Amino acid sequence: MAIGASMAGGKRGNAEGRPRQDADWYPTPKDVTCVLFDKVKFDGAIYEPCCGDGSLAVVAEDDYGYDVFGTDLHDRGYGIGHGKAFDVLKAKKLLAPNVVTNPPFNIAGEIIEHLWSLGPDRMAMLLKSTFWHAENRRRIFDRIPPSRIIALTWRPDFLGLNRPTMEVIWCVWERGHVGPTSYELAERPEWARKKKGRKRAAD
């Protein structure tokens, strides 16, 4: 089973024969994070409730100047709190007015509903491109539709295996948004394309 199937909730290993990532943890590549922050501006600090090793949060802090409060059920070396007290599905309040995260894909629907109920001004989540193509998720979409969907036009290499197989989208919710969900395509940042080109040339 390829990484895309694994992230979508499969139980077998990936194409490398590796087991599914523990707790559906797939670090967010920098180019994926940059696409969001280049297109969406957040007023105030950001709460990252599935921060993992901080791959997303560090870019938001260092490259875009946001204050980020990261927590996670699992301690992967980044964040201000870890453990059962920081289970995203049990959170009773937000640590910042905005939420940005790459959630565990197998519980992403539950996370969307729960965090939106806590009242963020803006919320952005990285999801597989076919996330809404299921009846139970369609019901979530009907109740709390994103204001924007930003579809990446390349397949991110989450684990550095050089065989990316999965398409993803950023879904953005904005408090008070009225109207249909906008859909746009996002090119890979030029610096990332050049970096990939140099790597190919070196190989």
The number of angstroms, rounded, from the C-alpha of 17 to the middle of its chain's C-alpha atoms is: 24
CATH number of 24-202: 3.40.50.150
Report the C-alpha gap between 148 and 154 in whole angstroms. 18
pTM reported for the whole predicted model: 0.85
Residues in the chain: 203
Asked whether 132 and 138 are in contact (CB, 8 A), the reply is: yes
Give CA torsion, residues 93, 94, 95, 101, to 10 deg: 140
Cα Rg, the chain, nearest whole Å: 16
Domain range annotation of the chain: 24-202
Element (H, E) at 139: helix 135-143
Going residue by residue through the chain, which has 203 residues, state the pLDDT in tens, using 9 for 90 and above.
333 333 444 333 443 334 445 545 679 999 999 999 999 999 999 999 999 999 999 999 999 999 999 999 999 999 999 999 999 999 999 999 999 999 998 899 999 999 999 999 999 999 999 999 999 999 999 999 999 999 999 999 987 778 888 899 999 999 999 999 999 999 999 988 877 655 555 44
